[in-house]
Chain A
Amino acid sequence: MASALRSAVLRHIRVPVAETLTLNGSKWSLISNVRSMSSHGDDHITKEEIIHRVLDVVKSFPKVDPSKVAPDVHFQKDLGLDSLDNVEIVMALEEEFKLEIPDKEADKIDSCSLAIEYIHNHPMAS
């Protein structure tokens, strides 16, 4: 029964011999260079860009004086924010970099430098 089905199926299936399967040809190397569905590698952002974007997010916060913002400011000590503002900024950073920071980590982020460090080490930041 199974063998009859197998032969029936095999009789109708034709596998086209495509050029893309040639190992030494140029098309193979094209495939191996572009890993379009991969989450690793090419889209990682540089530290300068992270610093720039983190500072932009903090500066756009309504209660913050943009002239005071620097890469090493502490949110509550230097910018005069309270703990709720701190959480709000971390949420804004999550939105900007499309992350989800776990609550325990998010509690620790209380300054620009820690935020930059965390996002820089996060593999999914974009």
Chain B
Amino acid sequence: MSFTLRSVKVAPNSASLEEARIRVFDFFRSACRSIPTIMDIYNLDDVVTPSQLRASIASQIRKNCHITNPKVIDMLLFKGIEELNNVVEHAKQRHHIIGQYVVGSGGLVQDVGTKDQANSNFLKNFYETNYF
């Protein structure tokens, strides 16, 4: 825990949306540049290509593209940097990376049956994936 906190520095708030935007791109670049290290330490060469991981990182960022409040973007950016640090520090295991970023939210098992269409959304999400 402590080594994570040491490596994560909280930058001052972004003054404007434009500054927050630039920070997001910088973060995306640093994440992309650490992809070779990540593939090396988690031994991902046989399950995923660097471009797939790049697309996966981009889709995580794009999931929040509607947000226009710089403070919220800063907060999400902080969480992203924290996550990236955890990944690069090998604080995770291989199946975390594969489940979260390789298989993604689509899930390995797709249930296309008709039997539980009326079930609650909670249950459907529960069956689908651990990761949100």
Are B61 and A84 in contact (CB-based, < 8 A)? yes
The bracket for how many chain B residues form the interface is: 10 to 19
Instruction: Give complex CA distance A106, B26 in Å.
Output: 10
Scoring A residues 88 to 100 as 1 if CB is less than 8 Å from chain B, else 0, what string do you get? 1001101100001
> Which residues B13-66 have CB closer than 8 A to chain A?
21, 25-26, 28-29, 32-33, 50-51, 54-55, 58, 61-62, 65
**Dominant secondary structure of chain A at its interface with chain B:** helix
Closest to A101 in B: B29
Q: Which positions in B face A, CB cutoff 8 Å?
A: 21, 25-26, 28-29, 32-33, 50-51, 54-55, 58, 61-62, 65
Excluding A85-B58, A91-B33, A94-B32, 14 further A-B contacts by CB distance (< 8 Å) are A60-B51, A62-B55, A83-B21, A84-B61, A84-B62, A87-B29, A88-B28, A88-B32, A91-B28, A91-B54, A92-B51, A95-B50, A106-B29, A107-B25
